[in-house]
Amino acid sequence: MNLIKPLSENQFNWFIRALKPKNWFNVAEGGKRAGKNIMGVLAFCALLEEHPNKLHLIGGVSIAAAKLNIVDCDGFGIANYFEGRCREGEYKNRDCLYINTKTGEKIVLISGGGKNGDEKNIKGNTYGMAYITEANECHKNFIKEVFDRTLSSNMRKIIHDLNPKSPTHEYYTEILNFHEEQQKKDEDYGFNYGHFTIADNQSIDDEKLRAVLKTYKKGDLWYKRDILGLRIQAEGLIYKTFAENNEEYMLDELDKERFKINKIIIGGDFGGNKSGTSLTATAFCNNFKRIVVLKSERRDSSKLDDDGLKTMFFEFVRDILDKYDVGIIQCYLDNNENVLIRMLQRYAIGKGLAVKIEGSKKISIIDRIRLVNSLIGQKRIFFIKKECKSLIKALNDALWNPKNDSERLDNGTTDIDSLDSFEYTIERDYKILMMI
C-alpha cells in the first residue's frame, strides 16, 4: 500500500468535517495539483469501512475519468486504500468494485455522467454514498440524479471535487449556490466546503513549488485559476485585459480633484422575463480624458413589476444626484421599450427628478465592444468603482460566441443586460472616445 504525505491543516480540517455524520454534502474545490482527489478518496474509503449501506457510487465525466481519478488516483486511490480487499467486476451489467470492508462486502458502481441521458445509468438504485470527481464537468441532470439516488441512504454522503470554472457556470448557479445559502441560514445544514491550492499539497516541496510557480505569469487568468483556484472564465473572453487585471481599474471612491466631472450619463436596459433589468451611471471627466463608472445595479426582470421598476429607477437616479453635483443628468434607456420609457418619463417629471430620458442610440454591438476594449486598453482612461459589482462581473464573464467569433455569447449564461446599460452611457460619444 502506498502511503500518502501528511495532509495540510486546511486539508485535514475538511477531511475531519467530511467524516461527521451531519455533513452529507462535501465539496473540495481549488487549483491544479491541490490534492483534492486524495482527500476525496480518503474520506470516501474511511466512511465506506463502516457504512451501513452495501451499494455506493463513484462517477465522473466518463467511466474512464472516474477510474483514473478515484480508483487509481496516481497510485493513491480506492484500489490502493483497499489493496488486497478490492476487485473489479460488474453489477447488473455495470462496471463496479467489490470491496471487503470491516462491515462486510460493499459494491461501488462506476458511472460516467458527462452527457445528458447518462443519469439513466444510475436510476433504480439507492446509494449510500456517491463520490463525483470533476463534478462541474458532469451534466447537471446526472448531478441532480445523484442527489435523488442518495435520499434514502442510512448515512447520506455526497463528495464532489472540482477545478474552478466561470462563476456563472451552471454548476454554481443551479447547484452549489443553493447549498451555500442553506448553510448560511442553518449551521447544521450539512454542507462542507473547502478551497485548496497547490500550496496544500505536501508532496510538493518548496523547491519544486517555486519551479512550478515560475512557469505562470503572476496575476494572469491561468495563475488565478490553476494556482489560486479562483472561479475565472478563461476561454473566449471579450475583455481579457480587464479580466486579468481588475485591480488596475478599480477605485474605492472618486477623487474629485483627480477626476473633474463634466457630465454623467445613466444607461438602462430592461431585459425580458428571462433576463435582467440593469442601470449604469458613467461619469465623463477631465474633458473626456477619463471615464469612470460610478454605479451599476441589476435585478431579475421577472420579479420587477412597473412599480418596482419605478422605485429602482428613482432610487438609482436620486443616489447619483445626491452624491454628484452635475445639474441635469441625461439618461438613455433601451429604445426597444418605448412604453417603459414613456412611463419613466412621466414618473420622473412627477417626482421632480433632474433627469432627461431618451431612447438609446444603439450603434452596432461590435462597435460597442470595440469602444469598450479601446477604453480598457488605455488604463489611464477607464476606471470603475469597486461597488459596481454587477458590471465588473459582466465584463469579467463576457464571451465571444463560439459559433460566430464576431458577436458575443447571448444565451443567458452571462450578464448581457449590464453590458448593454453601460454601453448606452458611452455609445453616443463613440467618435470622441475612439480618438482619445
Handedness of CA 236, 241, 244, 249 (dihedral sign): negative
Cα–Cα distance, 270 to 417 (Å, whole number): 8
What percent of the chain shows pLDDT beyond 90?
Answer: 74
Question: pLDDT digit string (tens) for 61-88?
Answer: 999 999 999 999 999 999 999 999 999 9
Quote the Cα angle for 401-404-405, to 5°.
75
Instruction: Give the integer Cα–Cα distance in Å for 33 and 147.
Output: 27
Under the phi-then-psi rule, with left for phi > 0, alpha for psi from -120 to 50, and beta for the rest, what region is 350? Answer: alpha
Domain limits, CATH 3.40.50.300, in the chain:
9-200
Angstrom distance (rounded) from CA 111 to CA 295:
47
If 0-12 CB within 10 Å is exposed, 13-18 middle and 19+ buried, where does residue 205 land? exposed
| Residue appearing with cell numbers 523547491 | 207
What's the mean pLDDT in 358-369?
A: 88
Q: And the C-alpha cell for 231?
A: 472561479
What's the count of helices (H) and strands (E) in the chain, helices before strands?
Answer: 16, 17
Q: What is the mean pLDDT of residues 150-158?
A: 97
DSSP state of 353: -
- pLDDT tens for 253-267 read 999 889 999 999 999
Architecture of domain 242-434: 2-Layer Sandwich (3.30)
| Distance in angstroms (rounded) separating the CA atoms of residues 151 and 128 | 9
292 in Cβ contact with 386 (< 8 Å): no
Average confidence score pLDDT of the chain: 92
pTM reported for the whole predicted model: 0.63
> Strand, helix or coil at 324?
coil
pLDDT band at 4 (very low <50, low <70, confident <90, very high): confident
Residue 435 has pLDDT above 80, yes or no: no
Residue 96 CB neighbours (<10 A): 22
CATH topology for 9-200? Rossmann fold (3.40.50)
Kindly state the helix (H) or strand (E) to which residue 375 belongs, with its residue range.
helix 365-377
pLDDT digits (tens, 9 = 90+) for 213-270: 888 877 777 788 889 999 876 678 899 889 888 999 999 999 988 999 999 999 999 9
Residues of the chain with CATH 3.30.420.280: 242-434
Q: How many residues does the chain have?
A: 436
Confidence bin at 109 (pLDDT 50/70/90): very high
